[in-house]
Structure formats: C-alpha cells, structure tokens
Amino acid sequence: ETGVTQSPTHLIKTRGQQVTLRCSSQSGHNTVSWYQQALGQGPQFIFQYYREEENGRGNFPPRFSGLQFPNYSSELNVNALELDDSALYLCASSLVGGNSPLHFGNGTRLTVT
C-alpha cells in the first residue's frame, strides 16, 4: 500500500510570487484534503476535493485554490504569496463519506521571504 506523497519537501518563495504544491493520494483513496500547519499549531483545514470538485472549504482566501486529477492526485496553488503563508502544507487522503480516517503525507515546508 503506497502512502500519501508530497512534493517538493521544502520551498522558498518571495512575497507576491505564486506556488504549486503536489500530492499523490494513498492507493484506493478518492478524496484529498489540504491543511496548513503554522509552527507550534495544529493543522487548519484549507479545502477538500472529491470527484475533481471542491467539496468543502475552510477560512482561507480565494488566492488559495486547488485541483484534483482523475487519478486522485492533487495540487494546491497559492497566488500573491504573503509572509504569513509560511507554514507546513499537509495533504491528506481518505475515502469519500463523512468521518472517514484521514492519512497525511509528510508535508511541504513553504518559506516566504
């Protein structure tokens, strides 16, 4: 069973730039969720994708957007980067349906300077 994989592991960007983070789901999982984890905090929900459509969104501005592909892999795009966007971005996969266990990747550490 292949777990959730994310790329890249680390990234440094400049304020105002755009970034794309990638995620491959655990085999057999059809739902992908993205979370932002600031240093010393718990993960915060950004959004979830199922059947290539957004299926729920947290309190994040529209410059955070995503995609899910037919093979269930996913991208997180962030435009107009701000210093506060510096965080660990986590991808989690699960089966569709409320309250299914989420399995996380090791994340992408984004630093915005």
Per CB under 8 A, residues contacting another protein are 4, 33, 35, 40-45, 48, 55-56, 58, 90, 97-99, 101-107
When the beta carbons of 15 and 51 are compared against another protein, the nearer one is 51
| Distance (Å) of CA 27 to CA 71, 90, 92, 110 | 10, 17, 12, 26
**CA 7 to the chain's CA centroid:** 11
| Least distance in angstroms from the C-beta of 21 to another protein | 13
When the beta carbons of 48 and 81 are compared against another protein, the nearer one is 48
Tokens of 27: 């085999």
When the beta carbons of 30 and 44 are compared against another protein, the nearer one is 44
Nearest C-alpha neighbor of 8 from the set 113, 112, 94, 105: 105
| Least distance in angstroms from the C-beta of 113 to another protein | 21
Nearest C-alpha neighbor of 86 from the set 5, 6, 7, 17: 17
| Least distance in angstroms from the C-beta of 90 to another protein | 5
Nearest C-alpha neighbor of 54 from the set 62, 65, 70, 63: 65
| Least distance in angstroms from the C-beta of 73 to another protein | 17
When the beta carbons of 62 and 98 are compared against another protein, the nearer one is 98
